Amino acid sequence: MDLADLYRDVIVDHNRRPRNFGRLDSANHQADGNNPLCGDKLHVFVEMSDDVIRDIRFDGSGCAISTASASLMSEAVKGRSRVEVAELFGRVHRMLTRRDALPDAALGKLAALAGVREFPARVKCASLCWHTLNAALTGGSTVSTE
Amino acid sequence: MAAVPRLPGGFDVMRVREDFPVLARRIHDRPLVYLDSAASSQQPTAVIDAVADYSRQHHANVHRGVHTLSQEATALYEAARERVRRFVNAASAAEIVFVRGTTEAINLVAQAQLRPRLQPGDEIIVSWLEHHSNIVPWQLLCGQTGAVLRAVPIDRRGVVDFDAYLRMLGPRTRIVALAHVSNALGTVLPVRAYLDAARERGITTLVDGAQAVPHRRVDIQELGCDFYAFSGHKMYAPTGIGVLYGRERVFDAMPPWQGGGEMILSVSFTGTTYNHLPHRFEAGTPNIAGAIGLGAAIDYLEAIGMDRIGRHEQGLLEYATAKLAAVPGLTLIGTAPDKSSLVSFSVDGLHPHDLGTVLDSQGIAVRTGHHCAMPVMEYFGVPATTRASFGLYNTRTEIDALHAAVLHAIRMLR
C-alpha cells in the first residue's frame, strides 16, 4: 500500500488550490452531491449553451480526494458536450474501479486519480463530483453516493 | 470453561495484550495500533474460547428440552445473566433482558413502555450529545404518537447544561433518555443528578451506558434509573448481544414487545399467557453463544478490576490529550472536565477521511466521520472528526505512534 500513489503531487496541489472553486451566478444547471458517511458536500454549477459546457464551478467541503477530483473534473469538462462528458465519465469510472484498467491517454490530468482504485473505501470520494455533474446535466437535483 | 487471567498487584498492560490475539497482527507491515474500541472492542482469548467451548460441547436450545445439552445450554445462558446482574448490581436477574445491543434495547423501551401511554404533546428529553440510537427510536415514536422530542443543549466543552435540563423537565415529560458517556466526545454525564431530578418528578428514566460499562464501575441500584442499556461488543464480548436492564416494577407493567416462542407460558387460539420476566422480552431463540461470551468478558474484566482499568485508561487519556493538544492546528473537540478515554479532534486543512487513510497505512485504526452523532458535529460546525478511543489494552507507545502519524499526515497533505 503506497500512499504516494493515492496522494500524488497533482492531487495534493488541486486540494490545496482547487481550480474553479466558488459559485457561478450565470449557471443554468446545478446539483448537490452528498456523501453522508464522510460528510462530504458538493455543489456543482454549470453554464451550458448549445449543449456545450461554457463554464463550471463547484463549492462545498470534502476530503482531499473529493476536492481534487472535482477540481480536475472542472478543468477537464469545460468546452465539452453532454455526450463527451458522459464518455469521459465512463473512462474515469473504469479507471477508478477496474484494477486491470490500462493507462488511458484520453484521461489527461485525470489519470492522477488512478491510485484511488487501490483504496476501495475512497472510490466514492473521487466519483462524487462526477455523479453530481451528471445530475446537474440531466435535470436531477441531489445525488448521494451512499 | 476457559481460564481467566489472574493479575494480582499492578496493571500490566503488556500481559493484558497477550490475552488479545488480534493485537499480534500486522497491518500494512506495521504492528496493529487499535484505537477504535469505542466503535467495537477486540475480544480476549477467554471470550473466544468460551464461545467456542459452548459451540463445541454444549449447544442446544435453551428453556425447551429435558435433554442434557439443553439443560447445559440453559445453565450457561442463565449463569451469564446472573454475571451481568452482579456486574451492574441489579437487584434481580429478572431485570436483565438480553437483546442484540443498545440500539435494540432503546427501541424496546420506546415501543413497549412508551408507545402505549404517549399522547400528542407529551415530551421525550434527550441531550444534544446522543448517539443516533438514542435519537431515532424516539423520533419514530414521536411520529407514531404525536409526542415531541426535545434535546438539552451543550456548551463548547461538550458539557450538558444541567440548568437547562431542569427547566425542560415539565408536566408533559414522559421519559428522560441520556447517554452516560458520549461516544463522540467522551463527556461523562454526572448521571446521578440528572436521574434524581427526573425521579423527583415521577419521570421514567433511561441511561444509554454503551460507552460507560466498559470503562467504569456501574452500580444500577445506586444510580436508580428505570432502564439502563449497553452492548457486549464494546466491552470485549462478541457483537449481537447486549443488555436492557429494567426496574422490575416498570418491566412488569409493560406489554411484550415482540411475540414468539420463549416469551409465552401457554398459547391457544383463544388467547396467550405471557411468560415471566425476563423471558417475556426475549421472544425467539436468543443469542446464547453471545450471552455466554458476554459472561466470559465480565469475568475477564472483573478479574482485572474495573477500577484498575479505569485508572489505566485515564492515564492514556491524559497522555493523549497533552500530546495532541500540542500539535499545531489541531483542535480537540470535547474538553469536558470529566471525560472517558477517547479523544475527538480536527486538524486545520486536513480532512478526517484523508487522515484516517494515512493512519491506516501505518497500521493505526481510528474512527473518522460523524460517529453516529450528527447533531454533535453540527453543533461544533464540523462535518466529521477523527476519534481515537482507548481500551484496556492500549499503551502510551501506541499514542506516540498516533501522534507521529498525525504529524506525518500534516507534512504530507497540508
Q: Domain segments of chain B: what residues?
A: 13-39+305-413, 49-302
The answer, for B348 touching chain A at a CB cutoff of 8 Å, is no
- ipTM of the complex as predicted: 0.88
Q: Collapse the DSSP code of A79 into the 3-class scheme (helix H, G, I; strand E, B; otherwise coil) and give the result.
A: coil
**Is B13-39+305-413 CATH 3.90.1150.10?**
yes
For the stretch A14-54, pLDDT in tens is: 999 999 999 999 999 999 999 877 778 999 999 999 999 99
Q: Is the pLDDT reported for residue A58 higher than 70? A: yes
Tell me what pLDDT residue B239 has.
Answer: 98
Grid cell 433511561 is found at B206
Q: Collapse the DSSP code of B125 into the 3-class scheme (helix H, G, I; strand E, B; otherwise coil) and give the result.
A: strand
For the stretch A70-121, pLDDT in tens is: 999 999 999 999 999 999 999 999 999 998 888 888 999 999 999 999 998 8
Q: Are the C-beta atoms of residues B52 and B290 closer than 8 Å to each other?
A: no
What's the DSSP call for residue A41? Answer: E
Question: CB-based contacts of B277: which residues, under 8 Å, 6+ apart?
Answer: B94, B95, B97, B248, B251, B252
How far from the centroid of its chain's Cα atoms is residue A27's Cα? 18
Tens digit of pLDDT per residue, chain B (414 long)? 444 454 445 789 999 999 999 999 999 999 999 999 999 999 999 999 999 999 999 999 998 888 999 999 999 999 999 999 999 999 999 999 999 999 999 999 999 999 999 999 999 999 999 999 999 999 999 999 999 999 999 999 999 999 999 999 999 999 999 999 999 999 999 999 999 999 999 999 999 999 999 999 999 999 999 999 999 999 999 999 999 999 999 999 999 999 988 888 999 898 889 999 999 999 999 999 999 999 999 999 999 999 999 999 999 999 999 999 999 999 999 999 999 999 999 999 999 999 999 999 999 999 998 888 989 999 999 888 999 999 999 999 999 999 999 999 999 998
Tell me what pLDDT residue B9 has.
Answer: 57
Optimal mutation site among B29, B136, B351, B382, interface A, most CBs of chain A within 10 A: B351
Element (H, E) at B71: helix B68-87
The answer, for A68 touching chain B at a CB cutoff of 8 Å, is no
- Phi/psi of residue A122, nearest 5 degrees: -105, 0
Tell me what pLDDT residue B54 has.
Answer: 98
Helix axes B306-325, B288-304, angle to 10 degrees: 80
DSSP string, B359-403: HHHTTEE-EEE-TT-HHHHHHHT-S-EEEEE--TT--HHHHHHHH
Helix (DSSP H) and strand (DSSP E) numbers for chain B: 14, 17
> What residue ranges do the domains of chain A occupy?
3-138
Tell me what pLDDT residue A109 has.
Answer: 95
- With CA atoms as reference, report the closest residue to B230 among B247, B250, B253, B246: B246
Which residues face A143 on adjacent strands?
A: A33
Grid cell 473504469 is found at A94
Tell me what pLDDT residue B2 has.
Answer: 46
State the nearest Cα–Cα gap between B295 and chain A, in angstroms. Answer: 34
Please report, for residues A5, A124, B23, B28, B29, the alpha-carbon distance to residue B364 in angstroms, rounded to integers and kept in the order given: 19, 22, 12, 10, 11
Q: What span, in angstroms and rounded, lies between the C-alpha atoms of B113 and B177?
A: 13
Q: How confident is the model at residue A146 (pLDDT cuts 50, 70, 90)?
A: low
Q: What span, in angstroms and rounded, lies between the C-alpha atoms of B345 and B355?
A: 11
CA angle B215–B163–B318, rounded 5-degree value? 30
The answer, for B366 touching chain A at a CB cutoff of 8 Å, is no
Is the pTM value of this prediction over 0.90? yes
Closest residue on chain B to A13 (Cα): B413
State the nearest Cα–Cα gap between A83 and chain B, in angstroms. Answer: 33
How far from the centroid of its chain's Cα atoms is residue A122's Cα? 13
Instruction: Give catalytic status of residue B372 as yes or no.
Output: yes
- Phi/psi of residue B109, nearest 5 degrees: -65, -45
The answer, for A142 touching chain B at a CB cutoff of 8 Å, is no
* E-only strand ranges, B88-235: 96-99, 123-127, 148-152, 173-179, 204-208, 227-231
- With CA atoms as reference, report the closest residue to B354 among A71, A11, A133: A11
- With CA atoms as reference, report the closest residue to B230 among B294, B293, B185: B294
Name which of A1, A41, A125 is nearest B361 (Cβ-Cβ). A1
Tell me what pLDDT residue B1 has.
Answer: 44
How far from the centroid of its chain's Cα atoms is residue A79's Cα? 16
Q: Collapse the DSSP code of B99 into the 3-class scheme (helix H, G, I; strand E, B; otherwise coil) and give the result.
A: strand
The answer, for A119 touching chain B at a CB cutoff of 8 Å, is yes
State the nearest Cα–Cα gap between B26 and chain A, in angstroms. Answer: 13
The answer, for B384 touching chain A at a CB cutoff of 8 Å, is yes
Sheet of strand A52-61, all strands in order from the earlier edge strand to the far edge: A52-61, A40-49, A29-35, A142-144
Tell me what pLDDT residue A140 has.
Answer: 66
Name which of A37, A61, A64 is nearest B354 (Cβ-Cβ). A64
Tell me what pLDDT residue B365 has.
Answer: 98
CATH class of this structure's domain B49-302: alpha beta
Domains B13-39+305-413 and B49-302 share a fold: no
Q: What span, in angstroms and rounded, lies between the C-alpha atoms of A135 and A89?
A: 12
Name which of B353, B377, B412 is nearest A63 (Cβ-Cβ). B353
Number of residues that this document lists for chain A:
146
Q: Is the pLDDT reported for residue A145 higher than 70? A: no
The answer, for A3 touching chain B at a CB cutoff of 8 Å, is yes
Q: How many CB atoms lie under 10 A from the CB of residue B133?
A: 22
Optimal mutation site among A17, A34, A38, interface B, most CBs of chain B within 10 A: A38
CA angle B249–B250–B253, rounded 5-degree value? 90
Q: Domain A3-138 belongs to what architecture?
A: Alpha-Beta Complex (3.90)
CB–CB of B353 and A122 under 8 A? yes
Question: CB-based contacts of B171: which residues, under 8 Å, 6+ apart?
Answer: none
